[in-house]
Structure 1
Amino acid sequence: MNLLESNTVPKLEKPIRFQEYGVGIFNTIPTKSGIKKAIKKELIFIDGILATTSKYIVGGEKIELYQSEKTPTFNRLQLDLEVLFEDDYLAIIYKPAGILVSGNKFVTIANALTQNLKKSTLFDAVKPQPIHRLDNPTSGLLLIGKTSNAIIELGKLFKNKEIQKTYFAIAIGKMKSEDFIDISIDDKKAATDYKVLQSVVSKRFEYLNLVKLQPKTGRKHQLRKHLFSIQNPILGDKEYFLENKVLNGKGLFLHAATLAFIHPFTKEKIAVSKELPKKFTKIFPD
């Protein structure tokens, strides 16, 4: 057998069964059922001894995954993500435009998390999960939960509107310098604050505006629908657009720039920002 992957366990808060700890430590086995199958096939060793599902991990062990000659080649997802904040409870990563957060596709942010984040040492560690969504064409910050309790508590923060999100977009046409959009979406209350930071004259679009957006609710496609509703759709939007004013080939000019909230466990103020993509600064260089 050939050694496929090796993992040294960090100091743990308290002992944990290997079948729980092992989820996510190997790139090639991201699930609990996969860990069980590898144990059954005698492919995992802990400190040189065959692993069992009931074995307790206390910290400091060397865990090795071997590849049997009969083992088929795994199709691994290779997707490097930029991690802007991480601790044992949560992480904040940058989602590039054009990649799904989750779903049935092979290339998703959710499928790439275990290879980009450190395994939590806490007793309730789980496979990292996105807490909210960003549309496929939207770039920006995405909040990730790394333990079962963190996923629950972060979900509560979103539900109680205790996470402040700031987006930037480039919108088409002449706009008020600032406004509050209060237009229901799918018969549900939806509200967005916006402020125009810069404007430039455009031969094709009349004006292009760099707009700061702060959603007060979290409806699907809220920012895109709200700007379209006031006849100022986002540049590059192919779902919500004005006739003859669709920009092709550059993607959607919508970026989730900041996340700010009180950490539900450490109680520290978390505030993370990500600069505008280059396609924004080509139009608004300052």
Structure 2
Amino acid sequence: MKLIESHIVPSIEKPIRIQEYAVGIFTTISTKSAIKKALKKGLIKVNDGVVTTAKYIVGGETISLFEIEQITTQKKLKLKLEVIFEDDYLAIVYKPAGILVSGNKFKTISNALIQNLKKSIKIDAVKPQPVHRLDYPTTGLLLIGKTSSSILKLNKLFENKEIQKVYHAITIGDMKSSGSVDFTIDKKESFSYYKVLNTVPSERFKCLNLVKLTPKTGRKHQLRKHLSAIGNPILGDKLYGKDGFILNGKGLYLHAYSLEFEHPFTKEKMYFHKDNPKNFDKIFT
């Protein structure tokens, strides 16, 4: 077998299964399922020894990937992304509407990152990967990890709710000036807070509101479901909008406006925002 890539594990806080740790550390295979297949075929070794999916990584090991015919380098996606911030640990990019963050399709933000970001010089550098999701029609800021330790730490920040996300949306109908929603999603607790920033009259919708949204949990389609539940769906939402009030052909008016967190390595206070898309401005001018 021919050695393709190797990776030296940095110091980590607690042991983690290799099938979890190895996701993203190799450029030729990046998914959990591909890692598991390679492990079962003996193509991934730790300190030159063949291991199983049950192997725990503790720090300091050398993980090697060997060549197999089925494993091929992915085609490179040519898609220009706006990079808001970048260092050797992480990056923040702007996600346009109408593109998936990741998944089985070729045209995704994940597949475009390697062409838009600089390769990290850190010893545990990996193929850059998003550490959270934005819906297909949603625009805004997306946080990216560039090293295996950074991805682990950023995921921990999200788990501990230490990353503050703010969204802007345009909603339909009369609303209170501010409030909270605790409508459960998939039988799980979920919390969102909103504040109306501006309101304009609308002949078709009675009124439209520019709303600041702060989710405290991260359920699938949480903000869209919460606003629909209180009778103020997001403009352009075909899944959760009211019958007869769907705006066709204009997209979803939901924008990931800002991110705020402490850098997991430099400990610097990080704050970034991206102004609302032009279609927002056309309504609130």
- TM bracket (short chain): 0.7 to 0.9
**Other-structure match for 2:246:** 246
How far 1:182 moved relative to its partner?
1.2
Give me the TM-score of the superposition, normalised by structure 2. Answer: 0.75
**Other-structure match for 1:222:** 222
How far 1:78 moved relative to its partner?
1.2
Query: 1:11-62: per-residue Cα shift (whole Å, max 9, x none)?
Result: xxxxxx98348xxxxxxxx9337xxxxxxxxxxxxxxxxxxxxxxxxxxxxx
SS in 1 for 2:175: coil
**Other-structure match for 1:12:** none
Q: Aligned equivalents of 1:145 and 1:152: distance in 2?
A: 9
**Other-structure match for 1:120:** 120
**Other-structure match for 1:31:** 27
Q: Aligned equivalents of 2:83 and 2:232: distance in 1?
A: 33
Code of the residue aligned with 2:88 in structure 1: it is D
How far 1:209 moved relative to its partner?
0.3
How far 1:106 moved relative to its partner?
1.0
Code of the residue aligned with 2:196 in structure 1: it is V
Matched positions, count? 223
1:151–1:255 CA distance, 2 compared to 1 (3 A): same
Q: Aligned equivalents of 2:233 and 2:6: distance in 1?
A: 47
1:76–1:126 CA distance, 2 compared to 1 (3 A): closer
Q: Which runs of 5+ in 1 are unaligned?
A: 1-16, 22-29, 34-73
**Other-structure match for 1:190:** 190
Trace 1:8-157 onto structure 2 (pairs within 5 A). Answer: 19-20=5-6, 31-32=27-28, 76-157=76-157
Q: Aligned equivalents of 1:186 and 1:98: distance in 2?
A: 25
Query: 1:198-251: per-residue Cα shift (whole Å, max 9, x none)?
Result: 101111111100000000111100000000000100000000011100000000
Query: 1:69-121: per-residue Cα shift (whole Å, max 9, x none)?
Result: xxxxx954210000111100000000001110001111100000000000000
Q: Which runs of 5+ in 2 are unaligned?
A: 8-25, 30-73
**Other-structure match for 1:266:** 266
Residue 231 (str. 1) matches residue 227 (str. 2): no
How far 1:183 moved relative to its partner?
1.2
Q: Aligned equivalents of 2:185 and 2:76: distance in 1?
A: 39
**Other-structure match for 1:168:** 168
User: What is the aligned-residue identity percentage?
Assistant: 65
1:257–1:164 CA distance, 2 compared to 1 (3 A): same
Code of the residue aligned with 1:257 in structure 2: it is Y
Q: Aligned equivalents of 1:32 and 1:105: distance in 2?
A: 17
- Whether the aligned pair in 2 keeps the contact of 1:182 and 1:191 (CA below 8 Å) is yes
Give me the TM-score of the superposition, normalised by structure 1. Answer: 0.75
Query: 1:123-172: per-residue Cα shift (whole Å, max 9, x none)?
Result: 00000010000000000000000000000000000000000000000000
Q: Aligned equivalents of 1:151 and 1:20: distance in 2?
A: 18
Q: Aligned equivalents of 2:149 and 2:245: distance in 1?
A: 46
Code of the residue aligned with 1:216 in structure 2: it is K
Question: Would you identify which runs of 4 or more consecutive aligned residues in structure 1 move more than 3 Å?
Answer: none
Q: Aligned equivalents of 1:179 and 1:19: distance in 2?
A: 52
- Whether the aligned pair in 2 keeps the contact of 1:20 and 1:32 (CA below 8 Å) is no
1:234–1:196 CA distance, 2 compared to 1 (3 A): same
**Other-structure match for 1:58:** none
Q: Aligned equivalents of 1:20 and 1:104: distance in 2?
A: 26
- Whether the aligned pair in 1 keeps the contact of 2:76 and 2:112 (CA below 8 Å) is no
SS in 1 for 2:153: helix
Q: Aligned equivalents of 2:281 and 2:151: distance in 1?
A: 35
